Structure 1
Amino acid sequence: MNAAPAPLLSNGRQSFSRAELDAEVNALADVLRAQGTRVIATLMDNGPAWVMADLAAAQAGLVHVPLPVFFTAQQIGHALQAAGVDTVLGPWALAARWPGAPTQDCEVAGQALCLQRLPMLPVALPAGTAKITFTSGTTGTPKGVCLDGEALQAITRGLVQALAPLDIRRHLCALPLAVLLENVAGLMAPLAHGAECIVLPLQDVGLVGSSSFDPARLQAAVVRHQPHSMILLPQMLRAWAAWLAHTGERAPASLRMVAVGGASVGTPLVEAARAVGIPAFEGYGLSEGASVQTLNLPGADRPGSAGKPLPHARVRVSAEGEIEVAGSLFKGYLGDAAAPPAWWPTGDLGHIDADGFVHVRGRRKHVLITAFGRNVSPEWVETALRGEPAVAQAVVFGEAQPALSAVLWPTRAELPDSALAAAVERANATLPDYAQVHHWVRASAPFSAEAGMSTANGRPQREAVFHLHADALAAPAIGTH
């Protein structure tokens, strides 16, 4: 009796073998070709339909523009126009956003979707563009990064090669598939390796919007599906590790690799996660490099670093201390005819140690110069603050000031200011005097992308955070709570 084909894609209720996945992808690719689609945007939750749309776009030779569902209507409108999107695929509820645009039923993976044609003017794209990823970066206006198939395949091969010793057979997608990191490292690489991708609705892994996260739901999903690997943002790892420590539970032993990226992680968080059974490994990358460039791995691991360059990536540090990357670069930005240089200046400061591990200190443009002339990377201080169990989010200021100040949000809303004060004191003990925080205020609310206080991957929108708390920061210091 022949065994059933191994699943390659599942959502907890239905699964698809490679042959079944290929059939769905072929059918959708035919529909898109018949429509005359050139640039397609997807706007939907994680699930098999999203995966099939991504693969069908590639097979049909179309440009895919994945849009996160947490983008605002203004951000979505900007992205559609900037990329010259002529077709949108998503739930039927979206059709009301573009009244009068021609619509068509489109069933994908058993899900009823709407294929809608938009009257957008085509725009010039860099030759070979296969995918455009939009990142809000440091402003609320998304920036279009154009990637070609060659770069995406290079990073896929590099990840498959680097992770081969772990023999990962089940990957649970815990980030939105529209986020490039999950799209490439959590979907393309596992599928190329023949691993099963488990793509649940985001609320089933505890994510609501871009910043509301329930670690209990993630734990339940991991216990149920027993994945070998996941990718998390630092704030998700921090909340999950703290929840496990608080409840006395442990992460399932099935996990072999939990890659963490999107922002600085820090040694204390990696160690806290591992103490409760989460095999956390920090990595580093950027959209302009088609996602992840470096990664700590079992056997090549240095907590506090971003790991060594992956097989597809080349990394160096300029004379000014800026990290530069090559090997899987983007083709250019939307609306900018300039081709990227052979080595891309990341804007991140750092160094490569004698053993080849990359260390990232922070953004070059964020470096503060205090009133005493000391250069301080705020990310360095913020990582020390977030290394404290009481601190979930931190933003440090101090340009032209005699001392640094910070806006803090606790890991649990009920934590008193005294817990934050103790956390600041402990973090300060690990920092030189010129990098210590002398004045802090409690944030008025968690930093979120919806509120305009963080990017999709959790990086703070510093200007927005400062303006919201300017009066409190100008008030007498409260660090002696």
Structure 2
Amino acid sequence: MLTVALDIKQAKIHGVLSLDALVNDFSIALKNRKYPHAPVGVIADNSADWIALDLATQHLGIPLIPIPHFFSNEQKKHLIDSAHIFTLFAEQENIFELYGFDENSGQCHSLFLSHLENYESKDVNKDIQKITFTSGTTSKPKGVCLSSEQQWSVAKSLEHALANLKIKKHLCLLPLSVLLENVAGVYTSFLSHTEVFVFPLKDIGFRDPFNFDAAQCLSKIDTYKIESIILLPQMLHSILNIIEPNDPRIQSLKFVALGGAKTPRLLIQKAKDLGLPIYEGYGLSECSSVVSLNLPNAYKVGSVGKPLSNRKIKIAEDHEIEISMTNKVNYLGEVSDDDSWFKTGDIGHIDEEGFLFIDGRKKNLIITSYGRNISPEWPESLLMEQGLYKQVMVIGDAQPYLLALILPSFDISQASIESSIRSVNKALPSYASILNYIVLDQPFSFSNGQLTENGRLKRDVIQSYYQKEINTLYESSKDLTLL
């Protein structure tokens, strides 16, 4: 059941006369199933129906499993099997057989639904409302089990944090299968009495999940005078490539939240200089999305803001960020960790004013052959802040020095590249200096398996792809041109 005082009659979705009636229709469809409490999956584009289905499952206490479009068929089947989904909602009627569902489907508004043909009913944890899967760095996605209360608690904190902005129009730019848009976008808007604008992704600039048309997106923002959006770093980069200072298409925006992967300071400063009200934050699925966020009255460049009012954060002796958890983290199919402090795997620090800074990933730590520990995000961020490169990855584990994989933003000479790396090395100790580089033959992307859906580097995959070139450079001492 919904655990917050959400008045659905007051919740507003653009173009929907009665969200309450829509939720009721989906509730009836769910209650009329052979197994009315069995988990539900949804694989569909953004729409008001998607949101109504989500609210209906919360009202009835049924687990919902959002299935991202951008997962492979193998990953989608893994989700369906591991989450024990009985009913699948989809916008396309012809996909059900592919995943073992009855080919004779029903329909509720724009979404078709079908049930698994061979299903064995199992007891369902009543505290689980949503199982959100992230692809991470492996082929098999990992499911994080969340209660309705956990999600709405974050939304309530965000509502309080953003209250002074009096935001009246929010545009959903991320897929609703991404938890961040669910919680920080839709739920927060509902609690704030903010009108939610939700369109098919192709109508807001996504020809496919990873091909973003910034001009089309800005046109939609301008047409409806949108006041808040959530961006991933690669989306911000595309927008900054086409806007001018104080561009009229962004004048209505009051708050642009930035999450996903670490963003170079130079990119954020450029956004601010162009008049984009950008505020970087930090979150994890295990924590029901947002943990900390920069705000207009509490902002520091380079940080991910201060913790939300419902968060407590500490930095461990090894600099790992730990977050206090009222509810223990629950992964699907795994024994829950009873530790009240969740170890994020991120390395960071909190300054004297309480701002949180992300310094890297603990598992990414490079240990050179000289025994020096280096977080690769450190030299990577220095390179990215020069504005010369679209993408950078630094390697050097068990090697005597660091090597950079770089994708220039434009045509650039070898001399200019080496000059830029020498400049970065001046800000690094000798053991963390970059002494060689490889110019990439293609960008890191989700489609080639080298990025996660949030834009994080799949370091093992990338290193394996370029292993021959890497070995050649490390084996040839004469190529140490940057010493």
Calculate the TM-score normalised by the size of structure 2: 0.90
How far apart, in 2, do the equivalents of 1:411 and 1:307 lie?
28
Q: Is the 8 A contact 1:210 1:450 kept in 2?
A: no
1:11-410 residue pairs with structure 2 within 5 A? 15-17=15-17, 20-35=18-33, 36-37=35-36, 38-91=38-91, 92-98=93-99, 101-108=102-109, 111=110, 113-118=111-116, 119-122=118-121, 126-244=125-243, 249=247, 252-327=250-325, 329=327, 331-410=329-408
- What is the Cα deviation at residue 141 of structure 1? 1.2
CA displacement 1:257-276 (0-9 Å, x = unmatched) = 11111111232121011111
- What is the Cα deviation at residue 285 of structure 1? 0.9
Q: Is the 8 A contact 1:145 1:330 kept in 2?
A: no
Q: Is the 8 A contact 1:266 1:383 kept in 2?
A: yes
Q: What's the % identity of the aligned pairs?
A: 35
Mark the CA change 1:165 to 1:442 in structure 2 (over 3 Å): closer, same or farther.
same
How far apart, in 1, do the equivalents of 2:156 and 2:11 lie?
21
CA displacement 1:412-457 (0-9 Å, x = unmatched) = 6x67767755654554454444333222222232222232211110
Mark the CA change 1:240 to 1:130 in structure 2 (over 3 Å): closer, same or farther.
same
How far apart, in 2, do the equivalents of 1:349 and 1:297 lie?
22
3-state SS in 2 of match to 1:235? helix
Q: Is the 8 A contact 1:151 1:330 kept in 2?
A: no
3-state SS in 2 of match to 1:129? coil
Unaligned runs of 5+ in 1: none
Match of 1:436 among 412, 433, 436: 433
Calculate the TM-score normalised by the size of structure 1: 0.90
One-letter amino acid matched to 2:42: T
- What is the Cα deviation at residue 102 of structure 1? 4.9
Q: Is the 8 A contact 1:417 1:442 kept in 2?
A: no
How far apart, in 2, do the equivalents of 1:421 and 1:125 lie?
58
One-letter amino acid matched to 1:101: D
How far apart, in 2, do the equivalents of 1:26 and 1:416 lie?
62
Q: Is the 8 A contact 1:69 1:209 kept in 2?
A: no
Number of corresponding residues = 465
- What is the Cα deviation at residue 30 of structure 1? 1.0
Mark the CA change 1:451 to 1:328 in structure 2 (over 3 Å): closer, same or farther.
farther
CA displacement 1:104-156 (0-9 Å, x = unmatched) = 33132xx2x21010134456655501100001122121000000112112111
How far apart, in 2, do the equivalents of 1:34 and 1:177 lie?
25
How far apart, in 1, do the equivalents of 2:413 and 2:235 lie?
22
One-letter amino acid matched to 1:81: D
3-state SS in 1 of match to 2:13? strand
How far apart, in 2, do the equivalents of 1:168 and 1:298 lie?
13
One-letter amino acid matched to 1:315: I
Mark the CA change 1:120 to 1:331 in structure 2 (over 3 Å): closer, same or farther.
farther
How far apart, in 2, do the equivalents of 1:410 and 1:125 lie?
50
3-state SS in 2 of match to 1:51? helix
1:452 aligns with 2:456: no
Match of 2:13 among 9, 18, 28: 9
RMSD: 2.5
Unaligned runs of 5+ in 2: 1-8, 474-478
Match of 2:468 among 467, 471, 474: 471
- What is residue 462 of structure 1 aligned with on the other side? 459
How far apart, in 2, do the equivalents of 1:422 and 1:449 lie?
31
How far apart, in 1, do the equivalents of 2:319 and 2:391 lie?
27
Per mean C-alpha deviation after superposition, the further-off stretch among 155-164 and 396-405 is 396-405
Mark the CA change 1:392 to 1:206 in structure 2 (over 3 Å): closer, same or farther.
farther
Mark the CA change 1:57 to 1:453 in structure 2 (over 3 Å): closer, same or farther.
same
